[in-house]
Copies of this chain bind each other. A is one copy, B any other.
Amino acid sequence: MIYYLGLIGIAAFSITGVIAAGKKDMDIFSIVLLGMVTALGGGTVRDILLDVNPVFWIADLSYLWVSLLASVLTFFLIRYVTHVLRLLLFVDAFGLALFTILATEKTIDFGFSAPVAVLMGLITGIAGGMIRDVLTGRMPLLLGKEFYATPALLGAIIFPVLSYYFPLHDLNRLYAIGIIFIIRASAIQWGLYYPRWLTYRKRN
């Protein structure tokens, strides 16, 4: 069940990655590479940092094929996809929530400490999009302003806290995924921003 939800999340990451970063006159090769980097990049960075071998998409090729297929279809169906873009943003939010918490949990299960697990959850959720932005010449650090990384960070912090206080509770994972999804979905729906006192005001 979680496995298939994961594949749906990978597909959503690929599609929104292509739509967010695709530029006019870019060839199909670059477009598909963009979609795959967005979907698989975060987990790849996590596996390299934790020295998990082989990397998840080498260990199980399904992720690769789903991402490839979703990116190619997006290329050809882009005219129709934009009609359901808003729906896709919510599926993407679900993918963000799912991957962040699954990675946090996996890192704890490997025996790493909670702060490392929080960071690995965050990296899994957002690094793919950051690599994509670097490859297309955008400033990835503006991601934060869109309230994309922040919900992931909050959920990744809440999960080990819940697990500490309610160690045998089966629903901790679900609660943490829900928190990320709800904050991110609210941000999509109502456009949340950081308050002024939490944005940088350099002199001059």
Contacts and interface: CB of A to CB of B under 8 A. Distances in A.
Q: This chain: how many copies in the complex? A: 3
B78 A143 contact: no
Interface residues of A, number: 56
Main SS class of interface, A: helix
Contact of A29 (B82, B149, B202): B149
A79 to B, nearest CB: 7
Interface string A68-80: 0000000100110
A112 B64 CA distance: 14
Interface in A180-204: 194, 198-203
Interface in A10-60: 22-31, 33-34, 44, 48-51, 53-55, 58
Contacts of A144: 26-27, 29-30, 33
A142 interface: yes
B139 A137 contact: yes
A24 B201 contact: yes
Q: Which 4 A-B pairs have the closest CB atoms?
A: A30-B144, A29-B144, A27-B194, A30-B141
Interface of A: 22-31, 33-34, 44, 48-51, 53-55, 58, 61, 64-65, 75, 78-79, 82, 112-113, 115-116, 119, 130, 134-145, 149-150, 153, 194, 198-203
